[in-house]
Chain A
């Protein structure tokens, strides 16, 4: 088995060289704490019927936040429905993330200048976009890169093969980050692909592949930073496999008891990505209960404000559906739009 990169072990002990100083590590920790609070809040809102089906990312915060932390504002992120933590750290507001789950199409509209595409719902499709985004940046002569995040299951789609192959041939500045969280709905990783690791698939496309402890935010940062640097220097794409775990069901609508044992989840909960960083910071003398409370209450306040904002928007109207479809509403649709405005959609 290929060696798996780990820098911070589950006890919070450094077993490699940290790519960042402790102030950055504190920032990464704060981002993970905030992301988890959002994840729990979104799950609770769904239970209260205030949100549609939600795909929780609990347990995958390090894989997401570690991977994107060194991206520059001009870089692109194109991720999936489970990647809210990564997207928000790149500027996609909590409010918009909530709107994608309240049935408001404005959830797909991050603020101008935020180079994050809305979450991909069709498994795999967005990986190919990341190739085009990166290619375009090369054509424009910028040094921006494109990162894409996807699951272990997504590697079975033809789109994965075609995206990886294209990126390899064009040497696009694309970073492929696979969060291998052990499951694709009810399908365990072992039955998703016969290859030993997902990282090794990079070989077939002529690019480096790296196996990383996805619950170790420092390892994720380190691997991603090296991949981003290579891409920026014009040295082409990289595949990173972040080994992590889906702690919750596939979505709030999924009953994972049908296909997996609670013991498995409990084992992984011991490898929690947040706790090991807390232990490390504590040992380094840069963590305190007071600071923990401060970052938690700041996160809670920001998230409550986002919920408030999302829930107080005027509802998306029937006319807006038509307006959003084409740059200019074509005449036959304009007739349907007028009817929608008058009497509902006739």
Chain B
């Protein structure tokens, strides 16, 4: 057992996989010499050398396109996009090329690549450096989408993503980088498509992702003191989605809350809401409630950013108000 923080877990997970698979390579801006602008790749250049850990020019389309090309030949690749906002700069590559290669070649070409990127708000970086864009990727057929909330999940899900034969977009949350957690010794490999029930409860189900998970847990602790037993689910992977765990929990509790950092329209919670409404509507004891960032660009002012992104308070208050 060791205690690692979330940012160290990223490098730990990559190193674990690079030691296992000598073909695995990684490329991105400022990842080698500088160890990443968020220090998530510290030490990798020293251990694996500049051939496998490559700094690139500021060319997001080339980062994704070249990684995809290499992956098509069977070299698994990790491509880093420094801020998830800049996925938009290379979205054609991701959407029209990476996500569709297997389909359009009838499986003759697979693209075993992981696109890692720093996602989310809380750092006062403003409208173009703070977005939660996991929902952008969730809507593209052919991509898998992962967003861990703890160091151990970072390692296990990163390993699973790297070993997956299909492209995975892996969202690392900027506001979680400093958070710590216990990590067992030895190889850690998790399974994509599995959500985790991180707190058992009977009165309602709160579904959260990434930074929203610790906030949902904090809210649930306070709700428990007030006699409301909330079950908290960490979705962990949006695609594939673990509908079994989600539906099972909602059937048990009869109430569903989603806690989403992405702006409201077409956020991932809307999809979960629709699945729940279609599949287990008659098991619901009350309306489904989505707790989200409003449909706004994220403000950079401290107070406004804190207001915009769902807080533990907002989750708590919303549950109390709606459970009556």
Contact = CB atoms under 8 A, between A and B. Distances in A.
A158 B35 CA distance: 25
A248 B162 CA distance: 37
B299 A191 contact: no
A104 B302 CA distance: 10
Contacts of A254: 37
Contact of B30 (A103, A154, A187, A193): A187
A276 to B, nearest CB: 31
Interface in B302-318: 302-305, 307-308, 314, 318
A258 B33 CA distance: 7
Contacts of B297: 321, 325
A336 B264 CA distance: 10
B300 interface: yes
Interface stretch (A29-37, A120-128, A219-227, A233-241): A120-128
Interface residues of A, number: 39
A156 B294 contact: no
Nearest to A188: B33
A105 B35 contact: no
Interface in A231-254: 254
A305 interface: no
Nearest to B32: A186
A291 interface: no
A196 interface: no
A345 B318 CA distance: 12
A340 interface: yes
A170 interface: no
A52 B123 CA distance: 10
A316 B296 contact: no
A311 interface: no
Contacts of B61: 158
Contacts of A332: 295
Contacts of A157: 58-60, 89
B260 to A, nearest CB: 13
Interface stretch (B124-132, B141-149, B272-280): B124-132
A187 B57 CA distance: 8
Contact of B29 (A122, A187, A315): A187
A103 B58 contact: no
Given A187-B55, A258-B35, A103 B124 contact: yes
Nearest to B264: A336
Nearest to A105: B299
B34 A258 contact: yes
B298 to A, nearest CB: 9
A346 B98 CA distance: 37
A156 B30 contact: no
B86 interface: yes
A84 interface: no
A321 B34 contact: no
Given A121-B128, A153-B58, A336-B295, A104 B34 contact: no
B323 interface: no
Nearest to A343: B317
A184 interface: yes
A333 B295 contact: yes
B312 to A, nearest CB: 14
B58 A186 contact: no
Contacts of A259: 33-34
B124 A186 contact: no
Nearest to A346: B314
A192 interface: yes
B301 interface: yes
Contact of B302 (A103, A122, A333): A103
Nearest to A317: B304
Given A156-B62, A333-B295, 8 more contacts: A53-B125, A103-B300, A121-B126, A156-B58, A157-B59, A158-B59, A254-B37, A340-B294
8 contacts: A52-B124, A103-B126, A121-B126, A124-B58, A154-B58, A156-B57, A184-B58, A185-B29
